Amino acid sequence: MPYTRYYVPPEQIINGTFTIQCKDTEFTLDKDLEFLETLKFTELLQISQKLGVFARRRGTKSLMISEIKRIIIFALDD
Q: For 39-65, how does the pLDDT look when each residue is reduced to its tens digit (9 = 90+)?
A: 999 999 999 989 988 767 777 899 889
Q: Look up the pTM and report it.
A: 0.85
Arithmetic mean of pLDDT over the chain: 89
- Residue 29 vs residues 4, 42, 56, 77, 78: alpha-carbon distances, Å: 19, 16, 24, 22, 25
**For residue 1, pLDDT beyond 60:** no
Question: Which run of H or E residues covers position 59?
Answer: none
pLDDT above 90: residue 16: yes
Q: Would you state the torsion angle of the CA atoms of residues 78, 5, 65, 54, taken in this order, to the nearest 10 degrees?
A: -140
Where do the domains of the chain lie? 6-40+53-73
C-beta separation of 28 from 49 below 8 A: no
Distance of CA 13 to the CA centre of its chain: 14
- Say how far apart CA 47 and CA 25 lie, in whole Å: 10
